[in-house]
Homo-oligomer: A and B are copies of this chain.
Amino acid sequence: MRDVIFDHNRAARIGLPEAVFCEGKPRASVLELLATLGVERDAPVLFTRLAADIVAELPAHLRVQLDYHPLSRTAFAARMPARTGRVAVVSAGTADSAVTWEAARTLDYLGIAATVYEDCGVAGLWRLVERIGDINAHDVVIVVAGLDAALASVLGAMTPKPVLAVPTSVGYGVANGGITALNSMLTTCAPGVGVFNIDNGYGAACAASRILGAR
């Protein structure tokens, strides 16, 4: 009854191919998209928020063509052509890892080299101090943190690189599903930090791609 109108032209227009956000879409639609676009190797498509049990439902001959990463819930059949520029993805803790790796995997799909630095939360500041030299050797810095997201401020004040901040929904009580981390990042006193929706590791990776493309 419905025909999905795919925006095949998006990559030419904005440098980023259309991706499929799977959560909330009817299960049948996701399966159909996986079976068609998902295994297309010439114009590879990224699937995000893809539940493991949907992948498990795919016929085996399709499933093997798909590179599925359970922690980040991302999948793709092939990568975009490799590009110059390197991105550091720095996170506060293990609880943020699903989002951290959504960013890293999206960069991987986009053909961009990424290094992940986890467990850099400010409760043990020495962990960040030891690594800041390495981090600053990258072209763009993505920072992923929940709760009070103090890492965004501290890191933003230690690097001259573009800083892209992703709040996460970890925590309880007034962590408020990530709203506190989001607002904390938006009000950081470190100047020039761009912020993304809660848990939107994909968005920060796309912004890094725009920045690297603009060089």
Closest Cβ of chain B to A201, distance in Å, is 12
CB distance A124 to B176 under 8 Å? no
Q: Flag A100-144 by CB within 8 Å of B: 1 or 0 each.
A: 000000000000000010111111111100000000000110000
- Given that A10-B123, A94-B4 are known contacts, is A172 also in contact with B199, CB under 8 Å in the complex? yes
CB distance A147 to B191 under 8 Å? no
CB distance A186 to B192 under 8 Å? no
- Check: A19 CB closer than 8 A to any chain B CB: yes
Closest Cβ of chain B to A165, distance in Å, is 8
A159 proximity list for chain B (CB < 8 A): 14
CB distance A123 to B190 under 8 Å? yes
Closest Cβ of chain B to A140, distance in Å, is 7
Within 8 A of B (CB), among A150-201: 150, 152-154, 156-164, 167, 169-200
CB distance A94 to B26 under 8 Å? yes
Q: Which residue of B lies closest to A170 (CB)?
A: B24
CB distance B24 to A214 under 8 Å? no
A71 proximity list for chain B (CB < 8 A): 26
A148 proximity list for chain B (CB < 8 A): 148-150, 152-153, 183-185, 187-189
- Chain A to chain B contacts (Cβ below 8 Å), 23 pairs: A2-B94, A7-B124, A14-B158, A14-B159, A24-B171, A26-B97, A26-B98, A122-B150, A123-B189, A123-B190, A139-B214, A150-B154, A154-B154, A160-B210, A162-B214, A163-B210, A172-B197, A172-B198, A180-B183, A180-B184, A180-B187, A191-B203, A211-B211
7 nearest CB pairs, A to B = A194-B194, A192-B206, A173-B198, A7-B124, A15-B160, A150-B150, A192-B207
